[in-house]
Structure 1
Amino acid sequence: MAFVITSPCKDEKAGECMTVCPVDCIVEGPDQFYIDPDVCIDCGACKAVCPVDAIEEEYDLSPEQEVYLEKAEAFFSR
């Protein structure tokens, strides 16, 4: 399981999540931050500090939010 950054982060890019991640799995993309699902250790530190409440656990995503997991997987597969 991994955490996923969803729509409230789009164009926000506050960045607190990057500074607290113990495994550096959060990367800034062109439109939002992305969490590498293969590196995330599910600690929840990023979720706790997100100022826009954009971070959800992979298995808690709504059907509308699934696209953000797909975007993260595509971002890290390049």
Structure 2
Amino acid sequence: MNKIVMSVIAVVMTACGPANPTETVDELVANPARIKEIQRQCKEDRAKIGDELCMRAAAAAERRFFGDRPEQKKAP
């Protein structure tokens, strides 16, 4: 009985934790509307959305803007 109660408590506490962002940068690159939505939410309440998802949206927007161009070397 004690093990069941402890298991239930562990499951409930795990469910209450913050959700990890599941969207990858590649998935966001393919969905520009989602990038804009996340960026809007980040401006309104970054603490609620989380830094990780905001950073992924920024990286996806950057990748969409610049593309996958190779880096150019600067002359010394």
Q: TM-score, normalised by structure 2?
A: 0.25
Q: TM-score, normalised by structure 1?
A: 0.25
Larger proportion of strand = 1
- Structure with higher Rg: it is 2
Higher RCO structure, 1 or 2 (CA under 8 Å, sep 6+): 1
Larger proportion of helix = 2
